[in-house]
Amino acid sequence: MSEQFSNASNEPLKIGVLISGSGSNLQALIDAIQAGNLNAKIEIVISSKPDAYGLQRAQKAGIQTVSLNPSVYANERVANSLIAEELQKAGAEYVIMAGYMRKVTEEILNAYPDRVVNLHPALLPSFVGAHAIQDAFESGVKVTGVTVHFANEEYDRGPIIAQRAVRIEEEDTLESLEERIHEVEHVLLPEVVQLIAEGRVEVTQNRTVAISQNS
Ligand code: GRF
């Protein structure tokens, strides 16, 4: 069974964004919307850390925010149920994990089947986990990159929507590579959310993702 997420009405795609830190990818979404390059509305920003700078970015943009105390995550299912509830209350149709460092469990995945989008700073399935850029840098690969995929219950797995390569140059330091990776993230994530907003992303049974031509 394939699911075409059509958006014929051209209504802005209602999204909820999950963050854990600086929120530079959240900022990229905010900027793309304000520049008229992304037909979406960020209904809520939820942070797994009360002191995440991304919360200030959201508040500056007039976006509703919720932050969870780390203690809530002592019970992952409770935390994820709370998050799912807040997302649905805010009217989010899609969930964008933008620099979110916690696992999403079935409480969220079941509420948003094939509608949770995750950003990973490596070319999955290579370099899964929370230190992807450093792992790639230390492994000596010549090319790494960025992946945007639909999250599922296995961390950093799930149907890949888009990837973009980033070369690792001889003169690169970990910092210079991180900078180039983030630059690519800030372009690729808004591009993918716009493809979804245009109804051009289709997840088929064998878990691949098709991007239809511009309708
Ligand atoms: C990004 O590299 C993201 O892929 C990773 O966390 C980093 C910081 O993201 N998960 P942000 O600046 O908080 O958006």
Catalytic residue among 120, 149, 182, 186: 120
List all residues 6 or more positions away from 157 whose beta carbon is below 8 Å from its beta carbon.
124, 125, 128, 149
Q: At which residue do the structure tokens 């961390």 appear?
A: 155
36 CA distance to ligand 1 middle (Å): 23
Q: Is the peptide bond before 190 cis (omega within 30 degrees of 0)?
A: no
pLDDT tens by residue, the chain, 215 residues: 444 455 556 899 999 999 999 999 999 999 999 999 999 999 999 999 999 999 999 999 999 999 999 899 999 999 999 999 999 999 999 999 999 999 899 999 999 999 999 999 999 999 999 999 999 999 999 999 999 999 988 878 899 999 999 999 999 999 999 999 999 999 999 999 999 999 999 888 757 778 888 75
Atom of ligand 1 nearest to the CA of 27: 14
Residues 6 or more apart whose Cβ sits within 8 Å of residue 205 = 1, 2
> Whole-structure pTM over 0.85, yes or no?
yes
DSSP string, 60-79: HTT--EEE--GGGGGSHHHH
Ligand 1 pocket residue status of 185, Cβ below 6 Å? yes
- Residue closest via CA to ligand 1's atom 3 equals 99
Q: Is 120 a catalytic residue?
A: yes
